[in-house]
């Protein structure tokens, strides 16, 4: 990756923008993680601990040890999978898992100019992310320590952002401002960085549309069936109403209004029930640990938290009312075909 010459200034400029919630600048280099147990290829992430905590919430992933606390020289944070691979994991007779921290390791990497640099780091903690591959191939050190070894100063390889708005489209004012202010930067959103997750997201959107269409179709047939049964059970009543002067338009409107009132009662109950369940499982989560082993390779957590955009509730409510109105047309037309004289004599 190319170095950003004025990483510190770019970070300061981005933090001043109202669209930006948090910023984390990083120094990245591929290297070799070596211990007496062997060696493993890793990506070394030089981070500012305070910045990174705001963007990725890395401290919450720390399972053993500490998160760069104190002023210890050359601390390093490694994943549980890597710690297990190099033999740091210990299991006592009771089955409790612990890790032999404070062990020294050697990181070997190339600095700008092509020279090889090696330095000792001391393990201060382990972390467990949502992705088992990340736990095995990513290590975190202080950016200041890595920059001193590489001689890069304030230069960084990438700057990660969290925006107030989740979407960053190429025609957004913020995107255009970044391109105009820092033309040497390549700006990418999460869809550019993770095209596989973009494909999953788009596929899920298509599946959700199909699923909603099936639900609305079932709702349509349910309403049609309910209203036809109501008409059949009240055939004599409708025949009498038509006999004493109720015209066809009034009969049609009566069936339509009954359907609307039925929807006005059912729709709010359904929406409020869905809102309560989504809010509950959004806080508690749904255990999907049965799929956790396969999902961990794709960065999927063992607990799923439900969430639905507020605009989706409005859209679903509108769709329900439109479906109800369409469904009421057929029963209403059936009621219009009743012969008053025959309807009155119906059993």
Q: Which residue has the higher pLDDT, 293 or 58?
A: 58
**How many whole angstroms separate alpha carbon 17 and alpha carbon 156?**
20
The pLDDT mean for the chain works out to 82
Give yes or no for a contact between 37 and 83, defined as CB atoms under 8 angstroms apart: no
Reading the block at residue 344, the tokens are 């009155």
If we measure between CA atoms, which residue out of 64, 61, 118 comes closest to residue 88? 64
Task: Inform me whether the pLDDT recorded for 167 exceeds 70.
Answer: no
Q: How confident is the model at residue 31 (pLDDT cuts 50, 70, 90)?
A: very high
Task: Inform me whether the pLDDT recorded for 343 exceeds 70.
Answer: no
Task: Inform me whether the pLDDT recorded for 310 exceeds 80.
Answer: yes
What's the average model confidence in pLDDT over 210-238?
83
CA–centroid distance for 93 within its chain: 39
What's the average model confidence in pLDDT over 122-133?
84
What's the average model confidence in pLDDT over 136-154?
90
Claim: this prediction has a pTM higher than 0.95: no
Task: Inform me whether the pLDDT recorded for 291 exceeds 70.
Answer: no
Residue range 57-76, pLDDT digits in tens: 899 889 888 898 877 789 99
pLDDT at 140: 95
pLDDT at 333: 81
Task: Inform me whether the pLDDT recorded for 261 exceeds 70.
Answer: yes
């Amino acid at each position: 990756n190319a170095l950003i010459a004025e990483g510190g200034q770019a970070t300061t400029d981005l933090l001043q923008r109202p669209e930006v919630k948090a910023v984390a600048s990083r120094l990245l280099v591929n290297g070799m993680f070596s211990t007496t147990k062997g060696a493993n290829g890793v990506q070394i992430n030089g981070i500012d601990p305070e910045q990174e905590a705001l963007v990725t919430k890395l401290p919450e992933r720390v399972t053993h040890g500490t998160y760069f606390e104190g002023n210890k020289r050359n601390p390093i944070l490694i994943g549980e999978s890597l710690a297990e691979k190099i033999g740091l994991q210990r299991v006592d007779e009771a089955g409790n898992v612990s890790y032999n921290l404070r062990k020294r390791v050697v990181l070997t990497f190339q600095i700008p100019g092509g020279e090889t640099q090696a330095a000792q780091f001391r393990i201060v903690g382990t972390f467990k992310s949502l992705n088992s591959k990340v736990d095995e191939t990513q290590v975190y050190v202080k950016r200041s320590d890595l920059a001193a070894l590489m001689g890069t100063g304030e230069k960084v390889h990438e700057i990660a952002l969290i925006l107030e708005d989740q979407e960053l489209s190429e025609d957004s004012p913020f995107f255009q401002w970044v391109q105009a202010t820092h033309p040497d930067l390549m700006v990418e959103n999460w869809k550019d960085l993770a095209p596989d997750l973009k494909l999953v997201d788009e596929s899920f959107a298509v599946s959700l549309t199909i699923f909603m269409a099936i639900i609305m179709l079932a709702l349509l047939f349910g309403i049609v069936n309910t209203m036809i049964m109501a008409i059949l059970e009240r055939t004599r009543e409708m025949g009498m109403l038509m006999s004493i002067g109720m015209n066809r338009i009034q009969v049609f409107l009566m069936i339509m209004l009954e359907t609307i009132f039925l929807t006005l009662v059912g729709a709010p109950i359904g929406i409020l029930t869905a809102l309560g369940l989504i809010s509950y499982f959004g806080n508690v989560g749904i255990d999907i640990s049965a799929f956790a082993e396969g999902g961990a390779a794709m960065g999927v957590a063992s607990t799923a938290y439900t969430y639905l955009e507020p605009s989706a509730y409005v859209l679903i409510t509108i769709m329900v009312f439109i479906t109800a109105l369409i469904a009421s047309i057929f029963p209403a037309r059936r009621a219009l075909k009743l012969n008053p004289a025959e309807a009155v004599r119906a059993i």
